Chains A and B, each alone.
Chain A
């Protein structure tokens, strides 16, 4: 019995290295606001939550478009209106998180979204400090003193922190 199966990627018989799988090639995608989670990255939000972690490296216009899509009616974290798992929770609500150097960009993004929404968006900003857990060995190797945090001592026992901002964007009614 011979059944026709869809061509599965298999290593070439000669042992030559084939093209990397798509997942590996997409690992360093720069267009989205939240690329893949490298070690030390912010925790992934709950499934279905509209959390956007703003980075200072990704394209600002792409971040803006993504947030506008998430804020649009029916636009959820899964994509378009018909996408599976789209917008189960509060529609039209978005939470932007910015850490360190990305804080001004986060504010800019929120204000741009508010300006583009014609005044129907409300901003609820809050600040916090995020404990850093930079590996000391890497800092010693690269010469980085880890001075991006707001606190920290000369000994390695003192926890270091970095400033963060969290902006919740809601439509009309104030956020709880």
Chain B
């Protein structure tokens, strides 16, 4: 029941039509910034997050609570929204040092077979996906300018030309076409019946 990308795609599609995605979970990964205070605020931006809500909380943390640093992170289709939040915050506050890190984040998807064989147990398909993610650290304090991904503060004259309220309108966008990019993917079949063992097949998508 391996569904490998590339050449095996037609076969995988014909077998995948009876499956339905029932659960998605992200693998917890530590932040890629060393020497961060333990109580740093991490804004985990999701695809459906409202920029208004995110910015209200983040701005309150930076202005009212007096935080010196804040981290924005997002993966997949939320990457653009993450950058949007960071750009709004930089424009509103000004003088923020930035470090940007990109990496892959492992997302675990569980697909359930809607049409299991009558004599066999229900099969669950576990898919490990590597989706691109971004982590951005904003800091009022100067950061190491020699580290990769460092951006100095922008000149002050560009700050404050926009308002927060005007930036929260209508950020919903249509879904992109079916993804055919080279996302490394592992497929693993987990048979729930213990008597039959766990049939595992892992496949790495060809590059």
CB-based contact A101/B80 at 8 Å: yes
Known: A123-B148, A163-B84. A147 touches B132 (CB 8 A): no
In the complex, B151 has a CB within 8 A of chain A:
yes
In the complex, A120 has a CB within 8 A of chain B:
no
CB-based contact A153/B166 at 8 Å: yes
In the complex, B36 has a CB within 8 A of chain A:
no
Closest to A105 in B: B181
Q: Which of B77, B80, B167 is within 8 Å of A152, CB to CB?
A: B167
CB-based contact A60/B180 at 8 Å: yes
In the complex, B35 has a CB within 8 A of chain A:
no
CB-based contact A125/B102 at 8 Å: yes
Stretch at the interface among A16-24, A39-47, A110-118: A110-118
Bound CA–CA A61/B205 (angstroms): 13
In the complex, B134 has a CB within 8 A of chain A:
yes
CB-based contact A150/B170 at 8 Å: no
Q: Which of A125, A129, A161, A164 is within 8 Å of B101, CB to CB?
A: A125
Q: At the interface, is chain A mostly helix, strand, loop or mixed?
A: mixed
Q: Which of A60, A147, A163, A175 is within 8 Å of B80, CB to CB?
A: A163
CB-based contact A126/B151 at 8 Å: yes
How many chain A residues touch the partner (CB < 8 A)? 40
CB-based contact B148/A122 at 8 Å: yes
CB of A78, distance to nearest CB on chain B (Å): 26
Q: Which of B79, B161, B181 is within 8 Å of A103, CB to CB?
A: B79
Q: Which of A103, A111, A123, A153 is within 8 Å of B149, CB to CB?
A: A123
- B-contacting residues of A (Cβ < 8 Å)? 56, 60-61, 64, 100-101, 103-105, 107-108, 110-112, 116, 122-129, 145, 147-148, 150-154, 158-159, 161, 163-165, 167, 174-175
- A-contacting residues of B (Cβ < 8 Å)? 51, 76-77, 79-80, 83-84, 86-88, 91, 98, 100-104, 131-134, 136, 146, 148-149, 151, 161-163, 166-167, 169-173, 176, 180-183, 207
A–B pairs, 15, beta carbons within 8 Å: A60-B182, A101-B80, A101-B173, A104-B76, A107-B132, A125-B101, A127-B86, A145-B170, A147-B169, A147-B170, A152-B166, A152-B167, A163-B83, A164-B83, A165-B100
